[in-house]
Amino acid sequence: MSGLIINELTKKYYNKIALRNVSLNFEQGKIYGLLGPNGSGKTTLMKVVAGLHKQTSGHVLINDQVLSYKTKSYVSYMSTENYLYSSFKVVDILKFYKDMYKDFRYDYALNLLNDINVKLDYKVSNLSSGETAKLKTVIALSRDTDIYLLDEPLNGVDVLARDTIMDIIAKSYGENKIIIISTHLVSEIEKVLDTVVFLKEGAVELFFDAEELRQERQMSVEGIYKEVFGND
Amino acid sequence: MEFNNNIPIYLQVIDKIKQDIVSGKLKPGDKMPSSREYSYELGINFNTVARVYKELENEQILFTKRGLGTFITESREQIEDLRYRMAKNLIVSFIEGMKQLGYSKKDMIKFIEIENNNIERIE
Amino acid sequence: MISLIKYEFIRKYKLVSMILITILALNLLLLTKGAGGSMLFLVVSLSALFVFYLVDIIKMYSDDLNKKTGYMLFMTPNSGYKIIWAKLLAAIIEGAGLVLIYFIFILINGAYIVVSMGDQIDYSQIVRGVNQLLSGTFGFNLGHVLVLLIAVLAFLIAFITTVYTAMTIRKSIFSEIKFGGLFSFIIFLLINWLLSLVTDKFHDIMTPYYDSINAVSNAGNISAGGLALILLPIISVFIIQAIVLTGFSGYLLEKKINL
């Protein structure tokens, strides 16, 4: 059995509880939307799966293996923050990934960046926020791996670039892959999603097939989101 | 293609394909893009497209040739039948809607004739 | 492991180049002030390199633990042990490199002093020439200097590992408690205090060893080799300390890290 299994995951910080007994089962060949307002636990969940934060209690199984440095090779995480070495040129970042990850598709990334006009010899610190977003997305999706965690890939990105990024995400679909996208911009991505997961204050509020939701509620996922969370 | 996120997307794609077949945009025996390609084209989820193809195959409007792809049915009967069914749906909706508005059968038919003439004059 | 060490250096090569060029420029400037300038340079540059080394090594790790750019490193499928050992090795390589560079500066400036005093110097025998200068003037030679520099390096590295451990504790077991930073600093002080106790005790135990060396060498006149023997125990302590603390930090990184 493969995939991503999260079992009774809890993450506490000294002043708050970020995740409460979250249990989720992610299947291969699906694109998931992880939706919820700021502070609902989406980022924390991704960081635990990516191995950057240790959970307080609960289990995570990736491809039947318990979280460890080894499972990091099955996960490609794109954080909202500026985590790329700012003094590096774009092409240096690609080389870093090529050196560090066996599954990194260097040429694919190179060509894709050229196609979307991200200059390879620019320093990361000199890229605009849209270009940075594109770069982070391309790098994350250029790894040929099992689980992709994209945290707000459309944040701070202008409308035109959003289409580009959605395009890249859609093309990354694979029947052995799990893609999990977290975002506020529900209306833009909902037609790409198989299943939506709503996180509210660290707990799973809803876990449903997007089309079934539309059928049953005769509403868009965005509409349901607004109902559940109020106007966010 | 623009989608209405309030209705299941697979239904909208099915409708579109049916429309295209009946209107002749898609010809009998035409090859449909692979599920993957089609999902890129439309910008929607791959599994949604897979479902569309499956449902249309069940309705015998599409068929799959192993290793070659998915094709529009070559059966003229199927297509005629589809056209008939779509037309019938339209008519049933029309009749029910007009009844709600209080129109009798005679008035409905007269209305159709008048509007049809108007439209033909414009064309 | 090699990749990890490689990137430790790639990330800092600009800074290191700038520092070295500055030091070189400083040397050239001070050379114009004669022999005194050379000696001043050697003192100043040693302090500068000392400070730079400490700050650079500590800052690299601190950035990786505290800044978001640390994700680059910690998302890679490397165990916490590998990451911290790579940093230790990089620190050793950088330290050794700086010791070597400083040594070359000693030779250059030493030769300059010899020449400025009017003596001849055979550049193919530069080491001997500088050695003669040093022994004549100060009573020690380049061998002593090298041994001392190595001892200082060992000390610095051992010290750095205590800082590493405290920082790692801050980002692991104390990451989710209030005043975690304060507690980590207290732990840092504790570690250093404990280590000083250990080394004191160690020196007491080693007294017979030191006595035996004294007995063999002439009173007040130790060879470079003799100096090495004297410093060997304390250097060993530093090495053991570095290894133990690095192992512990590795364990924390592996099991308990919270970025």
Hey, are the CB atoms on A85 and C72 less than 8 Å from each other?
yes
Indicate the residue of A52, A69, A86 with minimum beta-carbon distance to C254.
Answer: A69
pLDDT of residue C183: 87
Mean pLDDT of the residues in chain A: 93
- A·B CB contacts under 8 A: 54
A82 — pLDDT class (breaks 50, 70, 90): very high
C220 — pLDDT class (breaks 50, 70, 90): low
C259 neighbors C74 (Cβ within 8 angstroms): yes
For the stretch A103-123, pLDDT in tens is: 999 999 999 999 888 999 999
**Chains A and C make contact, 3+ CB pairs within 8 Å:** yes
Q: What is the three-class DSSP state of B73?
A: coil
Structure tokens at B12: 């909208």
C88 neighbors C157 (Cβ within 8 angstroms): yes
The larger pLDDT score, comparing residue C132 to residue B106, is at: B106
pLDDT of residue C216: 63
For the stretch B45-99, pLDDT in tens is: 999 999 999 999 999 999 998 888 999 999 888 889 999 999 999 999 999 999 9
Contacts with A211 from chain B: Cβ below 8 Å: 8-10, 48, 51
Eight-state DSSP code of residue A27:
P
Q: What is the pTM of this model?
A: 0.89
ipTM: 0.91
C258 neighbors C172 (Cβ within 8 angstroms): yes
Quote the percentage of chain C above a pLDDT of 90.
48
Q: What residues does C33 pair with on adjacent strands? A: none
Q: In chain A, what are the domain boundaries? A: 4-229
CA distances for A151 relative to A41, A93, A199, A203, angstroms: 11, 19, 14, 18
Hey, are the CB atoms on B8 and A211 less than 8 Å from each other?
yes
For the stretch A25-56, pLDDT in tens is: 999 999 999 999 888 999 999 999 999 999 99
For the stretch A60-79, pLDDT in tens is: 999 999 999 999 999 999 99
The set of residues, in sequence order, having a beta carbon less than 8 Å from that of A74 and lying 6+ positions away, is: A62, A63, A145, A146, A147
**Topology adopted by domain B9-74:** Arc Repressor Mutant, subunit A (1.10.10)
- Can you list the alpha helix ranges (DSSP code H) found in A77-195? 90-100, 106-115, 129-141, 159-171, 186-189
C176 neighbors A14 (Cβ within 8 angstroms): yes
Q: In chain B, what are the domain boundaries? A: 9-74, 77-122
Report long-range pairs for B17-24 (Cβ below 8 Å, ≥24 apart): B17/B52, B17/B56, B17/B61, B17/B62, B18/B61, B18/B82, B18/B86, B19/B86, B21/B61, B21/B72, B21/B79, B21/B82, B22/B79, B22/B82, B22/B83, B22/B86
Mean pLDDT of the residues in chain C: 87
For the stretch C60-92, pLDDT in tens is: 999 999 999 999 999 999 999 999 999 999 999
Q: What angle do CA A152, A224, B19 make, to 5 degrees?
A: 95
Residues A33 and A196: their CA atoms lie apart, in Å, by 5
For the stretch C156-214, pLDDT in tens is: 999 999 999 999 999 998 887 878 888 889 999 999 999 889 888 888 888 888 777 76
Quote the percentage of chain C above a pLDDT of 70.
95
Amino acid at A178: I
Using the Cβ of B23 and the Cβ atoms of chain A, whether some distance falls under 8 Å is answered with no
**Topology adopted by domain A4-229:** Rossmann fold (3.40.50)
Q: What is the three-class DSSP state of A204?
A: strand
